[in-house]
Amino acid sequence: MLKVSKSPIVITGGAQRIGLHCALRFAELGQPIVVSYRTPRDTLKQLDKAGVTCIAADFSHPDGVTAFTRTLNQRFGKLRAIIHNASSWHTEAEGIEPADLMQRMTQIHMVTPYLINRLCHNLLLANKPEAADIIHITDCVVEKGSYSHIAYSASKAGMDNMTRSFAKNYAPDIKVNAVAPALIMFNEGDTPDYQQQSLNKSLLKIEPGAEVVFETLCFLLNSSYITGRTIGLDGGRHIK
């Protein structure tokens, strides 16, 4: 069970899929939550009804990130945690110009969390004597690389590396960790063959669902002695 704080937890990209599930689960426990979203969705009504604060943000360029952090600093005196969930899933096969593809991936997965961590540092420090956390949602491909998502994999590896750098810089006041998922939830339109192929990549061969991410986040938030670590959430895929 999460140790609920009166200070908000920020979840970037919290209006869909895993981010949405975790935001709603935290809110059920009475934990104040702030989510960022880029595209208006029907889920915003669900989040608003649950008491979640929703802030529009465009992380495709640095100015959009700084505008978001400015809003956080203006509206909140302190933060319990920042969970970097916002992500973009593009592949080299889509035909995007290579330089543009790498720029997109590094902007969302590296520049955005870097700026938010730096520009919201004081909000996290202000939560003392309570704990404060930063959690990066990376990817299991960080360990092995990827045939089809080279830029994506490289940018997530950069985020993973920042986990340890920020852990060193922000200790002992702020814990900084990462969660590296593999398959968590299928997308609509995934074919049965694709689903089975994906399941076969792990030892446990299941689609676990977003609750496993929520449980892992609670574990890290509750822990008083873990920092600079990446928790693999891959069903044994790393040793398959």
Per residue, the 3-state secondary structure of 159-204, as one string, reads HHHHHHHHHHHHCCCCEEEEEEECCCCCCCCCCHHHHHHHHCCCCC
Verify whether residue 152 is a known catalytic residue: yes
Cα 113 vs. chain centroid, distance in angstroms?
A: 9
Provide the CA 225 distance to its chain's centre, in angstroms.
21
Residue 64 φ/ψ region, left for φ over 0, alpha for ψ in the -120 to 50 degree band, beta for the rest: alpha
Between vectors from CA 235 to CA 105 and to CA 147, what angle results, nearest 5°? 40
Burial of residue 125, with CB atoms counted within 10 A of its CB: 0-12 exposed, 13-18 middle, 19 or more buried: middle
Query: Among the options 37, 114, 152, 170, which is catalytic?
Result: 152
Radius of gyration of the chain (CA): 17
Catalytic residue annotation: 152
